[in-house]
């Protein structure tokens, strides 16, 4: 293969590299960042944290187990959730 036979393919190759880079920065990178933030949240749950669940329930974490946590949502009302159900920490 010589240079003249490869030359017509360069614009297409450049466009493919460009589109791959755009896809990476628009789709893959933000998704990975969001997944990492969620993992940090569920691994870092501690009693006393105020959180919101994926179902929109607000409350205070009272107990954390290996795969679950207990959330106080009202006076004498404590619900148990899978740790993956934590969506975000509440800002006070």
Question: Which sign, positive or negative, has the C-alpha torsion 37, 63, 79, 60?
Answer: negative
Strand partners, 61: 71
Question: What are 10-51's pLDDT values in tens digits?
Answer: 888 899 999 999 999 999 999 999 999 999 999 999 999 999
Question: What are 38-87's pLDDT values in tens digits?
Answer: 999 999 999 999 999 999 999 999 999 999 999 999 999 999 999 999 99
C-alpha 16/C-alpha 52 separation (Å) is 41
Question: Which sign, positive or negative, has the C-alpha torsion 59, 62, 68, 73?
Answer: negative
- Half-sphere exposure for 78 (CA within 13 Å, toward CB): 10
């Amino acid at each position: 293969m010589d240079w003249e036979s490869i030359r017509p393919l360069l614009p297409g190759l450049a466009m493919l590299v460009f589109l791959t880079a755009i896809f990476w920065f628009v789709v893959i990178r933000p998704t990975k960042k969001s997944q990492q933030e969620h993992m940090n949240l569920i691994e870092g749950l501690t009693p006393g944290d105020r959180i919101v669940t994926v179902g929109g329930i607000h409350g205070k974490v009272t107990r954390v187990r290996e795969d679950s946590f207990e959330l106080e949502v009202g006076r004498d009302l404590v619900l148990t959730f899978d740790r993956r159900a934590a969506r975000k920490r509440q800002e006070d």
